[in-house]
């Protein structure tokens, strides 16, 4: 159990952590879901995910925290504060993209556990409730939805979402929940209305810090993300008998649209980005002209009006291509995650902690989406970035220098100390 003494905590020096334990645990976690084809694939409610969650809850128990699994599978480690009140929380997501890296999400989970563990060991009981959380899912890698864990905490689940969304094998989210002992009917009970601040340590996943030789960033804005599904209908035809000029080839049309999507983002200029990450054709047979093609678009911008214009322009260009090629096209919105401005108050706590480390942090915009983006509706949310070497992420060779992993964790712990160990009045 946590000791009850209140240590006077006024210093601004950087909190010490167990660096070897931190790096060892990151490595242990990376073994959960190591994919034979390289990288890490840790998908929601799969055995690799269960194993990772058991690892994280074991670490929290070893620290003497109160550990519980909520109604969607987020795992919380809590130490009660001497003054109670709203909680100070740190964490990130446990799941990964397919063949992803060892740090996206995982760093924020392991660092939060290390920070809380080290704070309690050094300073005893905090004045505020202090929690670390391993969030169950953020990426949308298995099911046709994403940010499931954070949206459950923030009371942003869609009606009957668990019964409706399926994975590639047709398994519903609800069935998968039952498979790991969760009751989908209780998913809404994961909501938290008592969080004051949420702080997430995350790798930048872009090249800005690394290229400038800088070590820490504080995120001001997380870009908004629109996911679209574009369905192109033409006519299947015989690959040998149908003359080229007679065809209504859905895949040729979709291919022209895919190029148009990238052109629209390029012409909009940074930070606009648009990505076609999936495409499928029907009947998908070597000797049949595709009658149908379907692809997804991920379109992002840090300003909401500009993002709406980007989505509108992408839609317009797809319709122009369809008209020119005598095809039918349908553009359907799959999900929309608005851009958010994170908490200035908690961001300043992070900035002070960076200065305690002798580092002036760069103010940044995150092109990547994050749990903090969702949790910013339920708490004052802030994010700290450490460099991604070469800006690489969402790939097996994602990497951050060990000394930056350690620095980021110590700065996180220092910020949590200011938030949770208020100097006695």
Q: Footprint of ligand HGY on this chain (CB under 6 A)?
A: 138-139, 368-369
- On whether the CB atoms of residues 49 and 179 are closer than 8 A, the answer is no
105 interface partner picked from ligand HGY, Mn ion, none, CB below 5 to 8 A per type: Mn ion
| Binding-site string for Mn ion from residue 94 to residue 113, where x marks contact by CB under 5 A and - marks none | ----------xx--------
Q: Please tell me whether residue 39 binds Mn ion under the rule CB under 5 A.
A: no
* Residue with the shortest CB distance to ligand HGY: 369
Nearer to ligand HGY, 26 or 222 (CB): 222
String of DSSP letters for 349-409 = HHHHHHHHTT--PEEEEESS--HHHHHTTTSEEEEEEEPPGGG--SSTT----HHHHHHHH
Quote the CA–CA distance of 285 and 324 in Å, as a whole number. 25
Nearer to Mn ion, 66 or 273 (CB): 273
**Which of 125, 123, 126, 152 is CA-nearest to residue 137?**
152
| Least distance from Mn ion to the Cβ atom of residue 193, Å | 24
- On whether the CB atoms of residues 81 and 106 are closer than 8 A, the answer is no
- On whether the CB atoms of residues 384 and 409 are closer than 8 A, the answer is no
| Least distance from Mn ion to the Cβ atom of residue 251, Å | 29
Nearer to ligand HGY, 126 or 140 (CB): 140
| Least distance from ligand HGY to the Cβ atom of residue 233, Å | 28
| Binding-site string for Mn ion from residue 62 to residue 101, where x marks contact by CB under 5 A and - marks none | ----------------------------------------
369 interface partner picked from ligand HGY, Mn ion, none, CB below 5 to 8 A per type: ligand HGY
Nearer to ligand HGY, 97 or 116 (CB): 97
Give strand pairing partners of 76.
Answer: 68, 133
Local structure of residue 280 (DSSP, 8 states): E
214 interface partner picked from ligand HGY, Mn ion, none, CB below 5 to 8 A per type: none
Contact partners, residue 248, CB within 8 Å, separation at least 6: 234, 235, 237, 291, 325, 326, 327
- On whether the CB atoms of residues 266 and 242 are closer than 8 A, the answer is no
Nearer to ligand HGY, 317 or 395 (CB): 395
């Amino acid at each position: 159990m946590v000791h009850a003494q209140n240590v006077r905590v006024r210093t601004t020096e950087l909190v010490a952590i167990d660096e070897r334990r931190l790096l060892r645990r990151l490595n242990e976690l990376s073994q959960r879901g190591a994919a034979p084809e390289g990288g890490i694939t840790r998908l929601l409610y799969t055995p690799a995910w269960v194993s990772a969650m058991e690892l994280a809850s074991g670490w929290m128990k070893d620290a003497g925290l109160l550990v519980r699994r909520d109604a969607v599978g987020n795992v919380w480690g809590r130490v009660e504060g001497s003054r109670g009140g709203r909680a100070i929380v740190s964490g990130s997501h446990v799941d990964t993209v397919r063949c992803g890296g060892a740090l996206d999400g995982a760093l924020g989970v392991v660092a939060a556990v290390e920070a809380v563990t080290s704070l309690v060991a050094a300073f005893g009981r905090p004045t505020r409730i202090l929690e670390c959380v391993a969030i169950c899912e953020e990426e949308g890698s298995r099911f046709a939805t994403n940010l499931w864990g954070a949206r459950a905490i923030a009371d942003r689940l869609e009606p009957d979402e668990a019964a409706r969304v399926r994975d590639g094998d047709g398994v519903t989210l609800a069935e998968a929940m039952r498979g790991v002992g969760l009751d989908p009917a209780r998913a809404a009970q994961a909501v938290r209305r008592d969080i004051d601040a949420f702080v997430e340590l995350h790798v930048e996943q872009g090249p800005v810090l690394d290229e400038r030789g800088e070590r820490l960033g504080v995120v001001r804005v997380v870009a908004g993300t629109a996911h679209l599904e574009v369905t192109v209908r033409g006519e299947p035809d015989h690959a040998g008998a149908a003359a080229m000029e007679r065809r209504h080839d859905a895949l040729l049309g979709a291919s022209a649209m895919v190029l148009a999507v990238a052109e629209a983002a390029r012409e909009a200029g940074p930070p606009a980005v648009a990505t076609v990450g999936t495409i499928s054709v029907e009947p998908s047979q070597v000797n049949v002209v595709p009658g149908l093609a379907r692809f997804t678009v991920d379109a992002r911008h840090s300003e909401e009006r500009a993002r709406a214009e980007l989505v509108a322009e992408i839609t317009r260009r797809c319709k122009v291509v369809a008209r020119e090629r005598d095809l039918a096209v349908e553009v359907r919105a799959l999900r929309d995650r608005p851009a958010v401005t994170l908490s200035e108050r908690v961001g300043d706590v992070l900035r002070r902690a960076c200065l305690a480390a002798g580092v002036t942090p760069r103010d940044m915009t995150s092109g990547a989406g994050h749990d903090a983006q969702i949790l910013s509706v339920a708490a004052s949310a802030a994010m700290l970035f450490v460099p991604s070497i070469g800006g690489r992420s969402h790939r097996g060779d994602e990497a951050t220098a060990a000394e930056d992993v350690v620095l980021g964790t110590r700065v996180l712990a220092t910020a949590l100390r200011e938030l949770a160990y208020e100097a006695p009045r």
